[in-house]
Amino acid sequence: MSNAVDWTVDKALSAIKTLNARAQSAQNTIRANRAAYREALLTLPSVPDLGSREALRARLRDWIHRQVDVENRFNAFASRYLAAKAAVKRFLESIGVSPPAYLGAAPLVVPAAVYGGLAIAFAVIATIYTLNASQTRGLNGIRQLLETARERNWTAQETAAALKSLAEATASTTPDPLGLKATLEAALPLLVIGAVIFFVGPMLQRRRVAA
């Protein structure tokens, strides 16, 4: 295998390793947000004013609906990403490269699915990062208001006004709402992996047949 081919395979594996880390980070954030949400629910009954309590409960309900969407997106991402890694693993084995352990074991799929699967994976994880950041900010704000409403015995009107201000503040500070920066950053390793599958692979297969 030439140095150029070695470099390309190394870049492909590095890209997958990086995406593994991003996926783990996203999953950790999702789990942390879920735990914080459960804690907020447990604290909610300590808010003295019934109107304040119900207003906060309603906002938490809105938050968890959005959180479920984030979690569903992540689960779909994980499924597609496992399939894509399995295809990369099979390809590397076919050209005599020992895949690293972090490729894992999953049902094998045809090489044609690799490019599309990884494209979806990179785009979705970029979106999940943005959504996670928004969810974390929103939940932290609700929890802070919950504590204040509890300590100061806020009325329903005071809590509603604070929740309105929170919604406006979090909406105005959403970074890169479309996730374009992360998606563009992901484009290079994606193209490298695509090159390995669709260009380097056939070349190496021809060399092996000729030998």
Model confidence at 59: pLDDT above 90 = yes
22, 121 Cβ separation under 8 angstroms: no
38: pLDDT strictly greater than 70? yes
84 Rama sector, left if φ>0, alpha if ψ -120 to 50, beta otherwise: alpha
Tell me the angle at which helices 50-94 and 112-152 cross, rounded to the nearest 10 degrees: 160
What are the tens digits of pLDDT across the range 66-121? 999 999 989 888 887 887 777 777 777 776 666 665 555 443 333 444 555 566 66
The first and second tokens of residue 161, run together, are 């006004």
**DSSP label of 177:** T
Q: Give the C-alpha separation, 135 to 19, whole Å.
A: 21
User: What burial letters (b/e) apply to 174-186, b meaning 16+ CB within 10 Å?
Assistant: eeeeebeebbeeb
How many alpha carbons lie under 13 Å from residue 37 in its C-beta half-sphere?
23
Cβ neighbours of residue 93 under 8 Å, at least 6 residues apart? 99
Per the model's pLDDT, the better-predicted residue between 27 and 82 turns out to be 27
Distance from C-alpha of 134 to C-alpha of 45, rounded to nearest angstrom: 26
DSSP string, 23-83: HHHHHHHHHHHHHHHHHHHHHGGG-S-HHHHHHHHHHHHHHHHHHHHHHHHHHHHHHHHHH
Q: State residue 183's pLDDT score.
A: 47
Q: Record the tokens describing residue 43, joined without a space.
A: 């604290």
**Which domain does 135 fall in, by range?**
3-210
Number of domains in the chain: 1
What predicted TM-score, i.e. pTM, was given to this entire model?
A: 0.72
